[in-house]
Amino acid sequence: MINANADAFSAEQDLPSKEMVINLGPSHPAMHGTVRVRARLDGETLRKMELDIGFLHRGFEKSSENSTWTQVLPYTDRLNYVSPLLNNVGYIMAVEKLIGIKDPERSQYIRVIAGEISRICDHLTCLGAMALELGAFTAFLYGIEARELLWDRVTELTGARMTTSWTRIGGVANDLPDGWAEKLKKTLPKVAELREEMDKLLTKNRIFIDRCKGVGEITQEEAVSYGFTGPCLRATGIDYDVRKAHPYLVYDRLDWTVPVGTRGDTFDRYLVRVEEMRLSEKMILQCLAQMPEGDYIVRDYRYALPPKSEVYSSIEGAMAHFKLIMEGTQVPAGEVYSYTEGANGELGWFLVSNGKGKPYRVHVRAPGFTILSALPRLCEGHLLSDLVPTFDSINMIGGEVEQ
């Protein structure tokens, strides 16, 4: 009897097992945006994984080449729709670098504040979604509530929650609304409370740790070779942050440090993002304290629209307005590679102008693109279920990756 049972057990072990190919996405709740994964499974282990992207390809670069320099701006919102302000700032700074102008000091502070708000929103969304897909619905709700609080402020500032299109060549579209800074100062503690709540729910959560620690690890050398930037690179322990390595705007006047991880796994990427949210809040408060009065956009009407009062009352104003609207900003011929720190890493813009009102070539170096290309490397050899937190932690944004 006992022998027979043992035989049956070993026979079961020897059953021939075949590798199985399964298909996730492009329309799948865990595949943010529209990414298709073709995975070869051995049991539950991912043996081989191929990514199929491009379902969201909209021809961003082609559209940009057929628009004026300012008309490209709304397209940049749609690249990373979770932190559009950072894209706006990155693009406009590239154009300004090509022209060779600098925006006024106040505008620089406003850009930093807006950008850091966007960064917090981006990280909240990323971590919230990550928690949600691991079964922690509450943490997701806290994250989204905090994001909505900030988006209220963004709405007051720009008039839109996501499609902000708010920066302008030489500055920003409008000054801070009356009393906005005070409102923001009241909002930030509420956001901090929700963020800390989320942090408490997740960081020491047994299930969350088990699902994330040691999953999707990558070494420093490999991460650099794959072109990792942003939180994913810093999770491996390399302290490369464009804001620190090549300070732009007023980041060199703010007091902050770059948080880094040690192992480069999913849990470290999570921790780095949580810490960055705290730092962003700190930076916003410092900016509000330091911010000087003054212009929020340059008074050079070759690049910036004159105020309406001048358009309607003076011939120079009317002419400048007409030329800018009809012909577009005249950017001198040349080319430039400009880079800022987006929410997910180095957001690079390669612009070519041939001296007319339209860009000859616009190319965006989306941080997510290079990071996503490493996803098979991060996941192969792990369980299929580990794909979900790893994919969440690199925070792939379909808009920028698939252009």
Q: Least separation, in Å, of the C-beta of 339 and other proteins?
A: 8
Residues near 350 by beta carbon (within 8 Å), at least 6 away in sequence = 335, 336, 337, 361, 362, 363, 364, 365
Q: Least separation, in Å, of the C-beta of 245 and other proteins?
A: 5
Q: Least separation, in Å, of the C-beta of 155 and other proteins?
A: 27
Q: Least separation, in Å, of the C-beta of 65 and other proteins?
A: 5
CB 333 within 8 A of CB 199: no
39 vs 98, beta carbon nearer other proteins: 98
67 vs 155, beta carbon nearer other proteins: 67
199 vs 346, beta carbon nearer other proteins: 346
Q: Least separation, in Å, of the C-beta of 354 and other proteins?
A: 4
65 vs 175, beta carbon nearer other proteins: 65
**DSSP SS3 for 322:** helix
DSSP label at residue 32:
S
CB 32 within 8 A of CB 388: no
SS3 breakdown of the chain: % helix, strand, coil, rounded to 5?
50, 10, 35
CB environment 219-242: b (16+ within 10 A), e (fewer): eeeebeebbbbbbbbbbbebebbb
State which amino acid sits at residue 313: S
Separation CA 55–CA 193 (nearest Å): 38
Burial (CB count within 10 angstroms: exposed 0-12, middle 13-18, buried 19+), residue 66:
exposed
φ, ψ at 216 (rounded to 5°): 65, 40
Q: Least separation, in Å, of the C-beta of 317 and other proteins?
A: 25
Burial (CB count within 10 angstroms: exposed 0-12, middle 13-18, buried 19+), residue 289:
exposed
User: Which residues are at the interface with other proteins (CB under 8 A)?
Assistant: 53-54, 57, 59, 61-63, 65-66, 97-98, 100, 221-222, 224-227, 238, 240, 245-246, 333-337, 339, 346, 348, 350, 352, 354-358, 360-361, 363, 365, 369-370, 372-374, 377, 402-403
Q: Least separation, in Å, of the C-beta of 374 and other proteins?
A: 7
7 vs 335, beta carbon nearer other proteins: 335
φ, ψ at 383 (rounded to 5°): -75, 155
69 vs 296, beta carbon nearer other proteins: 69
φ, ψ at 297 (rounded to 5°): -150, 150
180 vs 350, beta carbon nearer other proteins: 350
184 vs 331, beta carbon nearer other proteins: 331
Residues in the chain: 403
Q: Least separation, in Å, of the C-beta of 363 and other proteins?
A: 5
